Structure 1
Amino acid sequence: MLTIKCAKCKSKLFKYKKIGQGRVLRCWKSKITRLYDGEVKGKNFVCKSCGNIIAEIKDDRLDMNSDAFTYSGTKIRK
């Protein structure tokens, strides 16, 4: 389980169930288990604290901006 955090202000955004050892490029909405401090503005997912754009929202996923977030935790092996 990964905890996704804002790269600017370090506030927690959401918990994500990452399966596989690859990079975090997309987050599927069905695998987000808990939402902390993020909000939807138009077609973007942004941090409430600082307004940093974390991802672009598509139909069933978030296309992550790799410079806008950090994460901690462990990835689940396939």
Structure 2
Amino acid sequence: MLTIKCARCKTKIMKYKKIGMGKVLRCYKDRITRLYDGEVDGDNLICGNCETVIGQIKDNKVDMIQDHFTYSGSKIRK
């Protein structure tokens, strides 16, 4: 499980179940287990505290913007 945080204000955005190694480039909606302070504004996922755009929502996934978030936790190996 990964905890994804805003890079600017360090607010928790969501808890995500990452499968496989590699970078977090996109988050699939069915693997998001909890949404903390992230808000959906049109097609964007934004931080509820500082209004930073974390990612863009498309169909069943969120395309993440690499410089706008950090994460901690462990990834599940395939």
User: Normalising by structure 1, what TM-score?
Assistant: 0.99
Question: Offset of 1:33 from its aligned partner?
Answer: 0.3
**Aligned 1:18-33 pairs, distance under 5 A:** 18-33=18-33
- The equivalent residue for 2:11 is 11
Question: Offset of 1:51 from its aligned partner?
Answer: 0.2
2:38 is equivalent to residue 38 of structure 1? yes
Question: Offset of 1:66 from its aligned partner?
Answer: 0.2
Question: Offset of 1:20 from its aligned partner?
Answer: 0.4
Percentage of pairs with the same residue:
65
**Displacement over 4 Å in runs of 4+:** none
In 1, distance between residues paired with 2:58 and 2:47?
Answer: 17
Counterpart code for 2:29: K
Counterpart code for 2:46: V
Counterpart code for 1:67: D
Question: Offset of 1:9 from its aligned partner?
Answer: 0.3
In structure 2, stretches of 5+ residues that fail to align are none
In structure 1, stretches of 5+ residues that fail to align are none
